[in-house]
Amino acid sequence: MVTVQQLQRALALALLATGFLHGCAAPGQPDNPLTADSQPGTKSGIEAVGPDGWTPQELALIRSLSLRNLPPLPPSESNRYAADEQAARLGQRLFFDERLSSNGQVSCASCHQPELGFADGLPRGVGVDVVDRNTMSVIGAAYSPWLFWDGRADSLWRQALGPLEDAREHGGTRTQHVQVLARHYSDEYEAAFGPAAVFDRLEQLPASAGPLGSLDELEAWEQMTLADRDAINRVFADMGKAIEAYQRRLLPLPTRFDAYVDALNTGDNGRAFELMSEVERQGLKLFIDRADCMHCHNGALFSNNDFHNTGVADADENTLGEGRVRGAHRAQHGEFSCLSGYSDAGENACEELRYIKATGPELMSAFRTPSLRNVSRTAPYMHNGRLATLAEVIDHYAAAPPGELGQSELQPLSLSADEKSQLVAFLGTLNEQQKTDGNPWRQRPQ
């Protein structure tokens, strides 16, 4: 099966092969002889005859970023309920339910707030306590084969389960969450997944027990029979699968940039001129060429869904700063992976996990490339939230500091203050224009 990530890599390789992306020129030559040192409407190797003054090569890159190029959602190999609407509706209710936490005040939506692009506007997320990572938006997350900043989850349903038991996020336990489900959503659960016999025995099981809780909660879990633990695990896994079914409905909406590309495609230069200012167009030009942003931020989601060291990790992050090194190991050994007994995957499925790249120096402090859609609404930035503004992010990429852990992939960029401002201006065109209050999947259910 060809994955979305493989398709994105193929596109990037094709563009590289034709010299479209930064870094293909010989020493001493312009990065892109078709566009370097040129402005729209001028000559630099060939005539810029495309709409709004773009060369054919530039247009190809710009069109590759359009939301119209977003492929259909890839199937969820390990979740046979991923497309089920009843499961999605249950998942939506679970996503917004604060009862799925130790203090009754934290839900998935506490960090993934619809009005903030399904992020939270904080340097690091806050659940029951402050966590170690900046909150990444879940819009379009179903397209990524790996979840979390380090990619330690190989599916959305597996990712959804992690925070529920994390002491600083939801802080709950496995039996506690299943009890909330049985008490408040038994009908919805049965409609989507069928009856759960364990619901009738919950009063005989510990109120709060799980493999990741306190010593008392762990002891209570270990005293349960294997059959009871398995029954709880299966319902708990179904909760994650319901949340995945819901999150697969959280797809990106058109932006001003997408409308601009549509205008280019129809040859409506007047409309294109209205949609993006000259400053924003110059920022786009930098983005697709000299600033080398498309090395990682490519495709309709502006992300290659891969992992890169950009020199941001702090030495005091300890093992957390190891990024993909640590994440790949955890992805291979989780009890809710695609290869686990709680997966719905077929015998020959799970290729991403089977052939995972889990070793190599390039994985040290490498973190997942986030989508840039809605990026100006989801500050602060980077995996640890240490950069407060887009201007700071661009300053960081231009300076290309070596970083404290691993080897940064960045190379210094010679960008003027005006050019940095142009990049920030272009990134502002990637915000969704459509209001979300008319989209029932982006609201707390009634």
Per-residue pLDDT of the chain (446 residues; tens, 9 = 90+): 444 445 454 544 444 444 333 333 333 333 333 333 334 333 333 445 567 789 999 999 999 999 999 999 999 999 999 999 999 999 999 999 999 999 999 999 999 999 999 999 999 999 999 999 999 999 999 999 999 999 999 999 999 999 999 999 999 999 999 999 999 999 999 999 999 999 999 999 999 999 998 999 999 999 999 999 999 999 999 999 999 999 999 999 999 999 999 999 999 999 999 999 999 999 999 999 999 999 999 999 999 999 999 999 776 776 678 999 999 999 999 899 999 999 999 989 999 999 999 999 999 999 999 999 999 999 999 999 999 999 999 999 999 998 888 999 999 999 999 999 999 999 999 999 877 667 899 999 98
| pTM (2 d.p.) | 0.88
How far apart are the two ends of the chain, measured CA to CA in Å? 39
Residue 294's alpha-carbon distances to 7, 46, 61, 372, 424, in angstroms, are 15, 22, 9, 11, 15
d(CA 90, CA 238): 10
Q: Map out the domains of the chain with their CATH numbers.
A: 4-73+253-430 (1.10.760.10), 85-247 (1.10.760.10)
Beta carbons of 309 and 302 less than 8 angstroms apart: no
